[in-house]
Structures are given as structure tokens and as C-alpha cells.
Amino acid sequence: MSLLIKNFLSAMEERDLTKAKSFLAEGFQMEFPGGEIFTELSELVDWGKERYKSITKDYEHFDELYIDNIKIVYCYGFLRGNWLNGSSFSGIRFIDRFMIKDDKIFDQKVWNDLSEFLSKES
């Protein structure tokens, strides 16, 4: 399951939304810090354009667990990229939780410290 998540996140970083969508179940939902909820990948991309120019994840570890027919994958590590003003950032902690059924992601929750650093850039 970790490979499924890595492939999904890689497609998102490359902004290949068609490929990324192929990993998602119907009714997919993602929640980001601040309670931002998205059901379409393009919504997330548009939201991100107001926060940073580019972003990528450096993975530290993936944890998998199984509850009945639901697979849960946590991935965590650090974010790096470029702010809207062109300055770079790195070392920002993140953790994502993915819920998977029938080899499709149906839920993603994201926690990170990006806003802590974003407020310092303003």
C-alpha cells in the first residue's frame, strides 16, 4: 500500500492530475490544515497556488495498518519548496493519513507546520 501512496503523491507533485485521480475512489475527500476540505484535486492545486510556488515531500517513513477491509497508511517527513516571493523553505514537518479500500484512496488527512512558517514569510 505504501507504493500506491508514493505513486499518488508523485503524480500530485508532477501535477499529473489525471494519473493522480486514477488512484482515488469515487467520493474521495481530503482535509488539510485549517479544516480545508477538497473533493477535487484541482481544488487543492488552486488553493496551493495562493500559498507557495512549489512544494515537495521528503519522506522519513511509512506506516501501514489494516482494520477489517480498510488499509491505513501514514506517511511522514519534511516539506520543502519555494514561497510565492521566490525564497525557499525546507524542514517543515508533515504527516498524512490515507484510508484505502479496494486499492483506491477514499480519504486523506494532512497535518503540517506550513502555516507556522508561512506566517513568518508575510
Residue 1 neighbours by CB distance under 10 Å = 16
Does the pLDDT value for residue 49 go beyond 70?
yes
Give CA–CA dist 4/10, Å, rounded: 10
Q: What is the mean pLDDT of the chain?
A: 94
Structural class in CATH, domain 2-121? alpha beta
pLDDT top residue among 64 and 114: 64
Cβ(62)–Cβ(5) under 8 Å? Answer: yes
Closest CA to 33 of 102, 116, 99, 120: 116
Residue 18 has a pLDDT of: 98
Banded model confidence at residue 119, pLDDT cuts 50, 70, 90: low
pTM listed for this prediction: 0.91
Give CA–CA dist 9/3, Å, rounded: 10
Does the pLDDT value for residue 99 go beyond 70?
yes
Residue 117 has a pLDDT of: 79
Residue 77 has a pLDDT of: 98
Residue 121 has a pLDDT of: 57
Predicted confidence (pLDDT) per residue in 5-22, tens digit: 999 999 999 999 999 999
Would you list the domain boundaries of the chain? 2-121
Span 66-91, average pLDDT: 96
